[in-house]
Amino acid sequence: MKRNLIAIISLIMYSNVFADSLEPNYDEIFYTRDEKGVVVAKVNQTIHFKDKIWYLKQVFDYVESDKESVVYQCFNGYPYSPYLNKNKSWTVTDSKLSGCERIRQELTKK
């Protein structure tokens, strides 16, 4: 009985660890490359939650110049959480999240 209990507890613990590893990681650094595979930009991506809207902020730091650009994308899949709905449905918007109006309208219906 004691062994069975230990085995069950171990199984639950390992299942929880495995399930946590399936969570999407939106805070990350990655690189964009051209068609020859040469790195063009380093991208620092972070996820944010503001006014019930999830959005990504991507800062592109270009290798060959001192230029930097920022791209914003709001999550537009229902349910409106990228941690619940893993369809990766993002819409490009601006820093004021004005491209997220449809999402705002859907959220106010509830």
Task: Retrieve residue 45's tokens.
Answer: 């991506």
Enter the pTM of the model: 0.71
Q: What's the alpha-carbon Rg for the chain, to the nearest Å?
A: 20
| pLDDT at site 9 | 55
Confidence of residue 70 (pLDDT cuts 50, 70, 90): very high
56-66 per-position pLDDT tens digit: 999 999 988 88
- DSSP state letters, 19-87: HHHTS---SEEEEEE-TTS-EEEEEEEEEEEETTEEEEEEEEEETTSS-EEEEEEEE-SSSS-TTT--S
